[in-house]
Structure 1
Amino acid sequence: MKLLSLLVIFSSILAGKAISALLWNETYPKGEVIRLGDFDIYSVGKSNGNLSIIVIYDIRGFNISQTRVFCDRLASEYFVHIVMPDFFRGTAAPTNGSMSTWLADVSNWSKVSNDLKNVANWLNKSFSTNRIAVIGFCWGGLQVVRACSNLSTIFFTGISIHGASLTSDEVRQLQQPMLFIGAGSDPPLQPYLSDAIEQSNSIISKQCEYKTYLDMRHGFVAASANYSNPDNVKAIDDVHLTVRNYLDKLTKNISVSLSINFYFLLILLIFAFHLHL
């Protein structure tokens, strides 16, 4: 009888694991699609530290379950507000026709930057957000580099995950630190990118981090994530840990810096007060 009970319990555990594997996209609370101007935004989670993250998807676009699950999981485990705007306005990379024409249109930086500024303004007004980070996959990784170069007063950091078309010329413009995550099939991050950043801005370079998953293929975290592959799942788990640790480290450094600045400002005010007396 005891043996039978143990078998039933063991079978239930196995069944639970099988169900979890099949329902990978139901594991975390889902967000909602809301309208902002002329495009949609996927919004999930709430911030307990006035921090929001804008996610920039890859060329597969807005409606990919694996990319949304990344947002859901980070929002749930990091207690942060995540928004993913539909930069492509309902389109995605064409399966036929001219990819280069489509890519040139959606990659127009003036359009992308305008969308990012509009979303950032909305976050500041609607959620009292005072810190915004940006995370991008593949095509989005390049947009993150540009955001941390040209919109550095809006974003305090960026994270590129298997970013595409990253060049030394682009990263030389960085004004905010970044975390670069690559797959084994991606161009190497070091020393190609790291040397370029070091040569152009040694202060930013010291805060940048790099991690490559040699056994993974391009797209393994987002659109091409395979949740039936244990190695892929393990790599995704580690990416989430790496992202959270990086953000923790950076936000703590910012908090310390602000505290020091406040302390010196207080000393100056006291000194000025005594001079006035």
Structure 2
Amino acid sequence: MSFPAACCNTPPVQASYTPVGAKQAIGGIECYVSGSKDAKRGVIVNYDIFGMHANVVQLCDVLAAAGYYVVLPDLFGSDALTEAGLGNAGVFAAFIKGPGSWAAVKDKYVAVQGYLRDSGIEAVAVVGFCWGGKMVVRALAELDGLAGGAIVHPALIKDGDMATVRAPLLVLPSKDEPDFTVEFATLGGKPFFKQCGMVRFDDMHHGFCGARGDWSKPEQAKRVNDAVKLLVGFFNTTTASRQ
């Protein structure tokens, strides 16, 4: 199971952003919601290990501006991992097995997906960053009705994980993630393989699209924009096939 060293020893970048969306309770879960409910396509965003960071909120607004109704659930709530805990191997391992486990967040995924369906959203995709990438893979393996999922500088991916997905997958690793060539090849026999894709960002560090991205630096901002274009293109294709 892969978890980049940067996840355990690099703090998030301090960033400020004024959201255009709003907070909303969905199934008892505090969420950030952005976009028009008149949209017919939705995206569930799974943040990285640092939770509701300004960068991921901004990405939600960017996806919303592309025509999606976007929901960012606060999957950790009061159980969020602190920076001190991140640097403690024992605390971190317990967190991943507890509040950060698929068992702990699955029902929240189901609640948000149900909310989107009941709101008239015809196709729902998912995207996850770092730890969230692992959750997206599990969601694509276990939940029915998802149009596809993207994992950006994913962590905790183990051999055989990608083979379990039941919807198209887009993989966007950074230089700090393993070579997923063999793992990605396990998707080759899937009927939706032509909709899958993998693009490496070997000039970027782990977390550049999430809480560890310093978007005041032009080179990082450009690559984040490149990643967003790939995400939107992928979502446009996969959700269109479900409408």
- TM-score bin, normalised by smaller chain: 0.7 to 0.9
129 and 158 in structure 1: CA distance in 2 versus 1, 3 angstrom threshold: same
Q: CA RMSD in A?
A: 1.9
Q: Distance in 2 between matches of 1:172 and 1:239?
A: 23
Q: Distance in 1 between matches of 2:56 and 2:161?
A: 25
Q: Distance in 2 between matches of 1:131 and 1:248?
A: 10
Cα offset, 1:208, TM superposition: 1.0
Q: Give the TM-score taking structure 1 as reference length.
A: 0.75
Aligned to 1:207: 195
Q: Does residue 1:107 correspond to 2:96, yes or no?
A: no
Q: Distance in 2 between matches of 1:101 and 1:65?
A: 26
Amino acid at match of 2:17: N
> Taking CA–CA contacts closer than 8 Å with sequence separation of 6 or more, which of the two structures ends up with the larger relative contact order?
2
Question: What SS does the aligned partner of 2:127 have?
Answer: strand
Question: What SS does the aligned partner of 1:164 have?
Answer: coil
User: Do the aligned partners of 2:16 and 2:54 also contact (CA within 8 Å) in 1?
Assistant: no
Aligned to 1:223: 211
Q: Distance in 1 between matches of 2:214 and 2:157?
A: 25
Q: Distance in 2 between matches of 1:242 and 1:215?
A: 16
Q: Distance in 1 between matches of 2:216 and 2:34?
A: 25
Q: Give the TM-score taking structure 2 as reference length.
A: 0.85
Question: What SS does the aligned partner of 2:164 have?
Answer: coil
Cα offset, 1:211, TM superposition: 0.7
Cα offset, 1:24, TM superposition: 7.3
**58, 77, 82: which one aligns with 2:48:** 58
Unaligned ranges ≥5, structure 1 = 1-22, 256-277
Matches within 5 A, 1:1-277: 25-26=17-18, 30-46=20-36, 48-62=38-52, 64-76=53-65, 78-94=66-82, 95-96=84-85, 98-125=91-118, 127-151=119-143, 153-189=144-180, 191-198=181-188, 201-254=189-242
User: Do the aligned partners of 2:34 and 2:64 also contact (CA within 8 Å) in 1?
Assistant: yes
- Higher mean C-alpha deviation, range 66-75 or range 105-114: 105-114
Cα offset, 1:137, TM superposition: 0.5
User: Do the aligned partners of 2:127 and 2:152 also contact (CA within 8 Å) in 1?
Assistant: yes
128 and 202 in structure 1: CA distance in 2 versus 1, 3 angstrom threshold: closer
User: Do the aligned partners of 2:76 and 2:100 also contact (CA within 8 Å) in 1?
Assistant: no
Residue by residue, what CA displacement relative to the aligned partner does 1:197-240 show, whole Å, maximum 9, x if unpaired? Answer: 22xx3323332100111110000011111112111000011111
Residue by residue, what CA displacement relative to the aligned partner does 1:147-178 show, whole Å, maximum 9, x if unpaired? Answer: 11111x23110010111011232111111111
User: Do the aligned partners of 2:106 and 2:139 also contact (CA within 8 Å) in 1?
Assistant: yes
User: Do the aligned partners of 1:158 and 1:176 also contact (CA within 8 Å) in 2?
Assistant: yes
Cα offset, 1:253, TM superposition: 4.2
Amino acid at match of 2:150: I
Cα offset, 1:140, TM superposition: 0.6
Residue by residue, what CA displacement relative to the aligned partner does 1:23-64 show, whole Å, maximum 9, x if unpaired? Answer: 9734xx6111112343200101115541111000111012x1
Q: Higher Cα Rg: structure 1 or 2?
A: 1
Unaligned ranges ≥5, structure 2 = 1-14
Aligned to 2:11: none
Q: Distance in 2 between matches of 1:120 and 1:221?
A: 24
User: Do the aligned partners of 2:171 and 2:198 also contact (CA within 8 Å) in 1?
Assistant: yes
Decide which structure has greater helix share. Answer: 1
Q: Distance in 1 between matches of 2:29 and 2:217?
A: 34
